[in-house]
Amino acid sequence: GIQVEQSPPDLILQEGANSTLRCNFSDSVNNLQWFHQNPWGQLINLFYIPSGTKQNGRLSATTVATERYSLLYISSSQTTDSGVYFCAVRAYGGSQGNLIFGKGTKLSVKP
Amino acid sequence: GAGVSQSPSNKVTEKGKDVELRCDPISGHTALYWYRQSLGQGLEFLIYFQGNSAPDKSGLPSDRFSAERTGGSVSTLTIQRTQQEDSAVYLCASSLSTANNEQFFGPGTRLTVL
């Protein structure tokens, strides 16, 4: 089945810094989502981005489907950005509708 | 409600007992998914319902796990004869359809098996 790898596994930032999180996947996809899991465990939708570029405030994401990777950019980080960021994909042509998740990037933003 | 809701938020049970977890998807969403998140395994798919089609049960870890979706809306995940390794957070998600596949997650049920 499709493999999803995220990097880095852990990231510590000073408040105000910028960062880039990466998600590599091993096959063509027709769904790619970025989530932020907050300290209470809730998965918050950040982007639905099987291809192209989107921006939402200080966050933006780019998926290059032909090269099988996606990037999540966080600018001017804040302590509330702390948590785990997950990339999840659905394989193109797959009979299943479920998402396959990467192991996540744990982000800690220090004041 | 506006989002996916799950109940209970926490469940503590004794080994060998049966448990039922409930999920109420976003109104109008035809697809419903169950996942679980545990420390050693990350986020893994369990079962998927799409409309009136037969569910995709390929992610269920054993025959102690089952799920149903009544009336195309609310779903119940049942775990029989619970084991300690069933301890995890059980997450439910829904999407508008399979074609429009953006999934939205509920807050989860934290299951602890003593």
CATH code assigned at A33: 2.60.40.10
Cβ of residue B108 closer than 8 Å to a chain A Cβ: yes
Domain that holds residue B75: 5-113
**pLDDT score at A24:** 98
| Residue A69 distance to chain B (closest CA, Å) | 18
Residue B61 amino acid letter: P
| Residue B107 distance to chain A (closest CA, Å) | 5
Query: Distances in Å between the alpha carbon of B58 and those of A19, B4, B33, B61?
Result: 37, 23, 12, 8
- Rounded to the nearest integer, the mean pLDDT of chain A is 94
| Proportion of chain B in helix, strand, coil states, percent, rounded to 5 | 5, 50, 45
pLDDT at A43 over 60: yes
- Those of residues 59-88 in B touching chain A at CB distance below 8 A are 59
**pLDDT score at A14:** 97
CB pairs under 8 A between A and B: 55
Which of A5, A99, A103, A105 is most worth mutating to test chain B (most B CB atoms within 10 A of its CB)?
A99
pLDDT at A59 over 90: yes
What is the Cα–Cα distance from B74 to B55, expressed in whole angstroms? 14
* A40, A90, A101 ranked by CB distance to B43: nearest: A101
Contact at 8 Å (CB) between B15 and B86? no
pLDDT at A95 over 70: no
**pLDDT score at A94:** 62
CB contact (8 A) between residue A33 and residue B48? no
Which of B36, B103, B111 is most worth mutating to test chain A (most A CB atoms within 10 A of its CB)?
B103
Q: A30: which 2 tokens?
A: 């027709």
Domain that holds residue A11: 4-110
Domain count, chain B: 1
pLDDT in 10s for each residue of chain B, 114 residues: 589 999 999 999 999 999 999 999 999 999 999 999 998 778 999 999 988 888 888 899 999 999 999 887 999 999 999 999 999 999 999 999 877 689 999 999 999 999
| pLDDT band of A25, cuts 50, 70, 90 | very high
| pLDDT band of A96, cuts 50, 70, 90 | low
CB contact (8 A) between residue A42 and residue B107? yes
Cβ of residue A39 closer than 8 Å to a chain B Cβ: no
Element (H, E) at A28: none
Percent of chain A with pLDDT over 90: 85
DSSP letter for A9, please.
Answer: S
Q: Helix, strand, or coil here: B86?
A: helix
**pLDDT score at A79:** 95
CB-based contacts of B18, cutoff 8 Å, min separation 6: B78, B79, B80, B81, B82
Contact at 8 Å (CB) between A68 and A24? yes
Q: Given the structure tokens 């054993």, which residue do they identify?
A: B62
**pLDDT score at B47:** 94
The more confidently predicted of residues B84 and A91 is: B84
Domain count, chain A: 1
